[in-house]
Structure 1
Amino acid sequence: MDGLEGSGSGSGWCVNCGNRSEWEDWVDLSLFDDTVLVVVTTVCVPLLLLGLLGNALTILVVWRRPQMRSTTYLYLSSMAVSDVLILLLMPLDLYKLWRYRPWLLGDAVCKLSVFVGECCTFSSILHMTALGAERYLAVCFPLRARLLVTRRRVRVLIAGLWGVAMLSAGPALALVGVERLQGGASECRCTQYAQTSGLLKAMLWLSNLYFICPLTILTLLYGLIARRLHLRAHTHRDKTHHQTLRMMGEHRGLWW
């Protein structure tokens, strides 16, 4: 895990968690060359616009058309909200790439940007896991699924998933902050407290669990779904074959 502290995670909250003295010796305002920054920005801006448009249309269609408010589309619209929030953070991420030091947006923006990013990431993972569990019930236990999976219960479950995601991302508020470096420059980065208290390692373990556990659960659920569909198809073929033989026998009896 020590190697991860310097490299950062997929969500980007420990980008500057490596050797502090090495970072403090940097005098450049940007982490990358201007050519790289221009290419990254050129790619990200269209993705930002298309992503906002697509997810906004998803939310609009689901909530403006009652016939689209099935349990599956409720999950999809909630995940679309998560995607919109993540996309809205993209300009801030680009700002960090272009000018990571000095940080001029305040401590609250520094903390909230990381918290919202982590919360939305965890929420999307939980939504996909819950949606996989619903598909499992619908395929393997269709009658029970009709009784258990209702729109009201799914709405309550979605609210609960967001609550769990917020609680899981809560430590991120203490993980980063604006710190003064040698020379007076300020930077939004992992705090000294996060590194010395073990909070950074705990969040890294939590992020890994959020990847490993849902992946294991979804693999198991979809494996069971595939097995049930295979057995159902095999049973249907046997029944069809039996009915065909019976019809042939009846036809032969009538012919004789």
Structure 2
Amino acid sequence: MSYLFSRSELIIVTTLCVPLLLLGLLGNILTILVVWLRPQMRSTTYLYLSSMAVSDILMLVLMPLDLYKLWWFRPWLLGDAVCKLSQFVSECCTFSSILHMTALGAERYLAVCFPLRARLLVTRGRVRALIAALWVVALLSSAPVLVLVGVESVEGGDPECRITQFAQASGLMTAMLWLCNLYFIIPLTLLSLLYGLIARTLRQRAHAHRDHTHRQTLRMMGELRGAT
């Protein structure tokens, strides 16, 4: 049996992760229950949040398996299917959360900068369809992981859940790294642009409101002088 870290380090990590697992599951489950048991909470924003809560729950459910990998990463005794599916679900949930945050940012941009158009375009039915599409994109983007990882022995050693030699030799690993980088760079750039435009719009409205208030004050002062 092989360890990646010392036993004291593993005990500390496990002690920290268990409360996070319980609190995370409780908080995300409550989020889903509140949204779906209270019809008034089913706004488009909360639809995104409840979908992201599902993603978080799946990630948290995998935490015991992640701890298992830290304690007993070699030899791997859970089979090739568990190795592949755990990595696939983890990657899929990560991609899904990024896509959800990007879509939510785009919706906030429409709501602030084009409120009338947003009321026509952003409906609960369309948001539900978009959320389903985001999950499909995340699933397809994560599909290469099923080939990328597997149970293999290195130089005749014990089997472990790792990146396969085929993935390294074929260039699939490099392609997946590029995809992961794009999943962070493109949404980060897009969100930075959208929130910058939101901030500019809010500043312009605040400035216009101050000018309007100033003009009203001057008009009232002029009317009072004329009356006296």
C-alpha distance after superposition, 1:5-50 (max 9, x if no partner) = xxxxxxxxxxxxxxxxxxxxxxx51111000000000000000000
Aligned to 1:59: 32
Aligned to 1:209: 182
1:20-31 aligned within 5 A: 29-31=2-4
C-alpha distance after superposition, 1:127-149 (max 9, x if no partner) = 00000000000000000000000
Aligned to 2:17: 44
Return the alpha-carbon distance in structure 1 between the equivalents of residues 155 and 213 of structure 2: 79
Which secondary structure does the structure 2 equivalent of 1:244 belong to?
helix
Aligned to 1:226: 199
Return the alpha-carbon distance in structure 2 between the equivalents of residues 157 and 182 of structure 1: 47
Deviation at 1:66, TM superposition (A): 0.7
Which secondary structure does the structure 2 equivalent of 1:154 belong to?
helix
Q: Does 1:157 align with 2:157?
A: no
C-alpha distance after superposition, 1:161-218 (max 9, x if no partner) = 0000001000000000011344462111110100000010111111111111000000
Structure 1 stretches of 4+ with a deviation exceeding 4 A read none
Return the alpha-carbon distance in structure 2 between the equivalents of residues 110 and 219 of structure 1: 36
Q: Does 1:85 align with 2:75?
A: no
Return the alpha-carbon distance in structure 2 between the equivalents of residues 82 and 231 of structure 1: 37
Return the alpha-carbon distance in structure 2 between the equivalents of residues 96 and 239 of structure 1: 63
Return the alpha-carbon distance in structure 2 between the equivalents of residues 119 and 81 of structure 1: 12
Greater percentage in helix: 2
Which amino acid counterpart does residue 123 of structure 2 have in structure 1?
T
Residue number among 138, 143, 166 corresponding to 2:111 in the alignment: 138
Aligned to 1:125: 98
Which secondary structure does the structure 1 equivalent of 2:5 belong to?
coil
CA RMSD of aligned residues (A): 0.9
Return the alpha-carbon distance in structure 2 between the equivalents of residues 37 and 70 of structure 1: 42
TM-score (norm: length of structure 2):
0.98
Aligned to 2:78: 105
Return the alpha-carbon distance in structure 1 between the equivalents of residues 24 and 14 of structure 2: 15
Return the alpha-carbon distance in structure 1 between the equivalents of residues 2 and 98 of structure 2: 34
Deviation at 1:57, TM superposition (A): 0.3
Aligned to 1:193: 166
Which amino acid counterpart does residue 71 of structure 1 have in structure 2?
T
TM-score (norm: length of structure 1):
0.88
Which amino acid counterpart does residue 46 of structure 1 have in structure 2?
P
Return the alpha-carbon distance in structure 1 between the equivalents of residues 3 and 134 of structure 2: 37
Return the alpha-carbon distance in structure 1 between the equivalents of residues 141 and 209 of structure 2: 46
Which secondary structure does the structure 1 equivalent of 2:2 belong to?
coil
Query: Which runs of 5 or more structure 2 residues have no equivalent in the other structure?
Result: none
Which secondary structure does the structure 1 equivalent of 2:162 belong to?
strand
Residue number among 147, 166, 171 corresponding to 1:174 in the alignment: 147
Return the alpha-carbon distance in structure 1 between the equivalents of residues 15 and 40 of structure 2: 39
Which secondary structure does the structure 1 equivalent of 2:175 belong to?
helix
Return the alpha-carbon distance in structure 2 between the equivalents of residues 37 and 162 of structure 1: 34
